[in-house]
Amino acid sequence: MVKKLLQPQEIEVFYVLPALRRELAVSLKSAGNSQKDIAELLGVTGAAVSQYFSSKRASQIKFSVELKKAIGESAAKIADDITLMNEMQRLLKLTRTERVACQVHCLKGCNACYERSLPG
């Protein structure tokens, strides 16, 4: 069986975005939101939120303290689909800066994901 090399965008879709949603759910829960409200705010099912809390989904990625702080700030801003989209874009930029995708990339340390996508 040939192991397929995932493209950086695939890593973001399969690993980084779900991990961001998981951390947002944790922040929203600690702010007193119900699981139902969290699911609605994040545009996912209640079952997905439950799996975030039980670490059955999106638990492979670990974020830095700084990124967790940024996620908490974003969680406080999310009120609708537009703010969710804006905050997810902001957080994705931060994950790229911190090279979060390298945690799951099969060629760790190769910089292939970032060689041309980050300025200077």
Domain assignments of the chain as residue spans, ordered by start: 8-103
What is the DSSP secondary-structure string of the chain?
A: -PPPPPPHHHHIIIIIHHHHHHHHHHHHHHTT--HHHHHHHHTS-HHHHHHHHTTSSS-S----HHHHHHHHHHHHH--SHHHHHHHHHHHHHHHHHTTGGGGT-TTTT--TTTTTTS--
pTM, rounded to two decimals: 0.84
Residue the block writes with tokens 């995932």:
6
pLDDT in tens, the chain (120 residues): 445 677 778 888 889 999 999 999 999 999 999 999 999 999 999 999 999 988 787 778 889 999 999 999 999 999 999 999 999 999 999 998 888 888 876 555 566 666 654 444
